[in-house]
Amino acid sequence: IVEVSSAPAQRYRLPDGTTFGIIASTTTPFCQSCDRSRLTADGMWYLCLYATEGTDLRQPLREGASAQELAAIITAGWTARRDRGAEVRKALESVGDREALVQLETLRQDPHLEMHTRGG
């Protein structure tokens, strides 16, 4: 499907009309143009699907932060953004050193590091 969109997926249409998209971020990283972030149900804001750390927005919300204060937190976080998870994975692959970004033992200690907890 040819379309003008900011979405990172390459979209396809099956003969029955079903459409689907593939986001090949590990083979074709789009980190430089990524405009996505993720907010989890527990209030953690992640700037990258592969991020191991995020910004806690729940606490300021519960403490009654104003819209301007929240905007300042979000603006500062986005402006300072340096996450390049897919590019890091691609670089590791090119030198034959690609493994899981987060090891199993670490995931057992902090299951929130798994991408499915962030919509990935």
Gap between the Cα atoms of 8 and 35, Å rounded: 10
Residue 7 predicted with pLDDT over 90: no
Place of tokens 């003008």: 4
Q: What is the pLDDT of residues 43-58, one digit of tens each?
A: 999 988 878 789 999 9
What type of residue sits at position 52?
Answer: T
Helix, strand, coil share (%) of the chain residues, nearest 5: 35, 10, 50
Q: What is the pLDDT of residues 43-99, one digit of tens each?
A: 999 988 878 789 999 999 999 999 999 999 999 999 998 877 777 777 777 666 666
CB crowding 10-34: b at 16 or more within 10 Å, else e:
eeeeeeeeeeeeeeebeeebebeeb
pLDDT at 23: 81
pLDDT at 49: 80
pLDDT band at residue 102 using 50, 70 and 90 as cut-offs? low
pLDDT at 14: 94
